[in-house]
């Protein structure tokens, strides 16, 4: 429980301090809107969610966008309830522009010994518009902590 509280405080503290854009790019990737590439799945979410699996996403991202239990990295939409809303009776492979934004989030926190340290996280946001639906996926990755002066 203590570790969850510490992680939550790290995240909130870091978010309140500073974000730095590390990279931003748009790549065109194949998105399969057949039964192999789109699904309604609860893997990684609290309720069933419409997702597209994009295996090629792994090669162009820094963090892991594969939800546990899925066969490839994925993006999800909360604008559709059913897979067919996105497929629209036309299962095919589309070439889709995918935006990938990587940010560094850092802030001063107190460690378990009461010492101030600089906590650094990466946040990678992947977004795409597919047949009028906004799909996205966000991942965070913690980096080793630094001396407090590195956050200035």
Instruction: Please count the other Cβ atoms lying within 10 Å of the Cβ belonging to residue 100.
Output: 21
**What pLDDT score was predicted for residue 123?**
97
pLDDT in tens, 107-134: 999 989 999 999 999 999 999 999 999 9
Task: Identify the domain containing residue 71 by its residue range.
Answer: 2-151
pLDDT in tens, 42-77: 888 889 999 999 999 999 999 999 988 889 999 999
pTM of the model: 0.83
Average pLDDT, the chain: 89
**What pLDDT score was predicted for residue 13?**
45
14 vs 140: CA distance, rounded Å = 12
For the chain, the domain total comes to 1
Contacts of 36-41 with CB under 8 Å at 24 or more apart are: 37/93, 38/83, 38/86, 38/87, 39/83, 40/82, 40/83, 41/67, 41/69, 41/70
Average pLDDT over residues 10-14: 45
3-state secondary structure of 40: strand
**What pLDDT score was predicted for residue 10?**
47
**Confidence band (pLDDT; 50, 70, 90) for 91?**
very high
pLDDT in tens, 2-11: 343 344 444 4
Q: How far is CA 19 from the centre of its chain?
A: 16
Q: Which of 126, 142, 11 has the alpha carbon at shortest distance from 66?
A: 126
Q: Which of 100, 36, 38, 27 has the alpha carbon at shortest distance from 74?
A: 38
**What pLDDT score was predicted for residue 17?**
61
Percentage of the chain modeled with pLDDT above 90? 76
SS3 content of the chain, % helix, strand, coil (to 5): 20, 50, 35
Outline where DSSP puts E strands in the chain: 18-32, 38-41, 49-53, 74-77, 93-110, 116-130, 133-142, 146-147
């Amino acid at each position: 429980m203590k570790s969850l509280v510490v992680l939550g405080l790290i995240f909130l503290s870091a978010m309140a301090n500073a974000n730095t854009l590390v990279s931003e790019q748009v790549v065109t990737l194949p998105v399969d809107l057949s039964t192999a590439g789109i699904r309604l799945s609860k893997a990684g979410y609290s309720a069933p969610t419409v997702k597209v699996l994009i295996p090629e996403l792994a090669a162009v991202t820094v963090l892991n966008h594969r939800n546990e239990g899925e066969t490839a990295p994925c993006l999800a939409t909360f604008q559709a309830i059913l897979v067919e809303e996105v497929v629209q009776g036309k299962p095919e492979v589309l070439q889709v522009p995918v935006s990938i934004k990587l940010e560094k989030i850092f802030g001063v926190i107190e460690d378990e010994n009461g010492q101030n340290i600089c906590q650094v996280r990466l946040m990678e946001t992947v977004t795409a518009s597919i047949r009028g639906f906004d799909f996205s996926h966000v991942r965070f990755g913690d980096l080793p902590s630094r001396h407090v002066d590195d956050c200035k």
